Structure 1
Amino acid sequence: MENLAETAETGWRGSRRGWLEAGYQALIEGGIDAVKIQPLAKRLNLSRTSFYWFFEDREALLTALIEGWEERTTDPLIRATQEYAETLAEGMLNVLACFLCGLFDSKLEFVVRGWSLQDEKVEARLAAADEKRLVALRNMLTRWGCEEQEADVRARTIYLTQIGYISMRAQEDTDTRLARIPAYIEIYTGQAAAPRELARFQARVKSSARPR
């Protein structure tokens, strides 16, 4: 949790949260090379020196951004694998909802994967996150009775497919994606989702797509 003094500090120097959000937007829009102090200051209409009230240097901001990436991607995916479900198929629908409802920040994931090609520390952090995510998926599958090897292969099939969607920037409209979900569930779990499970899932996805 952020220090109250850090988040409450506002006014002519802005706030830590504001600098982080500006860094996040710059990262999404232009990649790691776009995250520079002076352009961020201009974006926020603040002085460059005000940055140093909240971060020691650019590297400190980058560290905070990579921590934010984990919070926006790995954490919600792990929570999705632990959500209540009455069947394995419903558990898998919870995982897919994490991606389709925007709980998993796919844009940030794409950029961080590009960033990892330039930075060994980020590459190592990404590898660790990949493993944590796979472990969470394997654990969900074994809780439902899958043998270890089967759970490992299914987890990799699920995860690599979803990351493939992100890395390839695959474009599908909502109706097309939803029409494919029953087949994905059978491939991922070996089970068919019940009509009521699919109906709840579709309502959840369509609700998340409505303008707020």
Structure 2
Amino acid sequence: MSKPAKPQGKSQDTGWRGSVDVWLDAAYAALKESGIDAVRVMPLAKQLGLSRTSFYWFFEDREQLLSALLSRWRDKNTGNLVYQCERYAESICEAILNVFECWLNPELFDSQFEFAVRSWAMQSAEVAAEIALADETRINVLTGMFRRFGYDEEAADVRARTIYLTQIGYISMNTDEDVVVRFRRIPQYVSVFTGKALKRRELDRFYGAFGYAETTPGVFEAF
């Protein structure tokens, strides 16, 4: 990561210390690239071209920085998944497509961040507990989404777990799937997860949001 530019008008002897976001962004990048052991004050300071003491203007200690990383993960990955599950949809198929946006848009759900936090949990009981809570929250909101469209409790629970555990499997296996292949599989995934067929207009609207055009026949219901 290149050294951040000092704000204009800030004299050299003022000693720019960065900001909360500068330090947190560096920690976030280090976690995703090299794991939790790379998230340490001295290496981050060296990477940023800042003094070690600058860190303590914004964080009491490394533990507070790690807590901020977990908060970012909760807000981004769990928060956005909850939001997508609760978004308006005309059908369960369209609701599933709302969820799929998380898997295709890293601004909504950062799969590398998810993988890094789950790896971190192997070294920390506290983080493992956070993961367990997040898993429960996410499965519950997916279950609620199915219940909203008339599925009974057992069916909603099993379908929610099928969707969620499939995606966590993708992440845990660090699966590298070509995006075009993933788009082409979407109609079949929706059919498996919901027991229903997509309407062509639902899929076209979804593809259009990502600038993707599909010409291969899929599993569709009539308009």
Match of 1:98 in 2: 102
**Contact preservation (8 Å) 1:101, 1:205:** no
Residue-by-residue CA offset, 1:150-191 (whole Å, 9 max, x unaligned): 000000000000111111111111211111111110111111
Equivalent residues in 2 for 1:17-96, closer than 5 Å: 17-96=21-100
CA offset at residue 21 of structure 1?
Answer: 0.4
Work out the percentage of aligned pairs sharing the same amino acid: 55
CA offset at residue 43 of structure 1?
Answer: 1.2
Quote the Cα distance in structure 2 between the aligned partners of 1:110 and 1:11.
36
Q: Counterpart amino acid of 1:105?
A: D
SS at match of 1:146: coil
Equivalent residues in 2 for 1:190-201, closer than 5 Å: 190-201=195-206
CA offset at residue 45 of structure 1?
Answer: 0.7
Q: Counterpart amino acid of 1:58?
A: R
Cα RMSD (Å): 1.2
Quote the Cα distance in structure 2 between the aligned partners of 1:101 and 1:122.
25
Q: Which structure has greater helix proportion? A: 1
Number of residue pairs aligned between Structure 1 and Structure 2? 198
Pick from 165, 169, 178: which aligns with 2:170? 165
Question: Are 1:182 and 2:194 an aligned pair?
Answer: no
CA offset at residue 200 of structure 1?
Answer: 1.2
Residue-by-residue CA offset, 1:51-76 (whole Å, 9 max, x unaligned): 00110000010000011111120000
Q: Counterpart amino acid of 1:128?
A: L
CA offset at residue 206 of structure 1?
Answer: 3.6
Deviates more, 1:94-103 or 1:56-65: 94-103
In the superposition, relative to structure 1, how do residues 87 and 11 fare at CA in structure 2: closer, same or farther (>3 Å)? Answer: farther
Quote the Cα distance in structure 2 between the aligned partners of 1:206 and 1:131.
33
Question: Are 1:13 and 2:17 an aligned pair?
Answer: yes
Quote the Cα distance in structure 2 between the aligned partners of 1:56 and 1:174.
42
Quote the Cα distance in structure 2 between the aligned partners of 1:178 and 1:68.
28
CA offset at residue 194 of structure 1?
Answer: 0.5
* TM-score, scaled to structure 2: 0.86
Quote the Cα distance in structure 1 between the aligned partners of 2:88 and 2:124.
38
> Any stretches of 5+ residues in structure 2 without a counterpart?
1-13, 213-223
> Any stretches of 5+ residues in structure 1 without a counterpart?
1-9, 208-212
Q: Answer 1 or 2: higher relative contact order, Cα 8 Å, separation at least 6.
A: 1
CA offset at residue 11 of structure 1?
Answer: 5.9
Match of 2:5 in 1: none
Quote the Cα distance in structure 1 between the aligned partners of 2:161 and 2:15.
48
**Contact preservation (8 Å) 1:97, 1:205:** no
Q: Counterpart amino acid of 1:28?
A: K
Question: Are 1:156 and 2:161 an aligned pair?
Answer: yes
Quote the Cα distance in structure 1 between the aligned partners of 2:141 and 2:156.
11
Match of 1:210 in 2: none
Match of 2:11 in 1: none
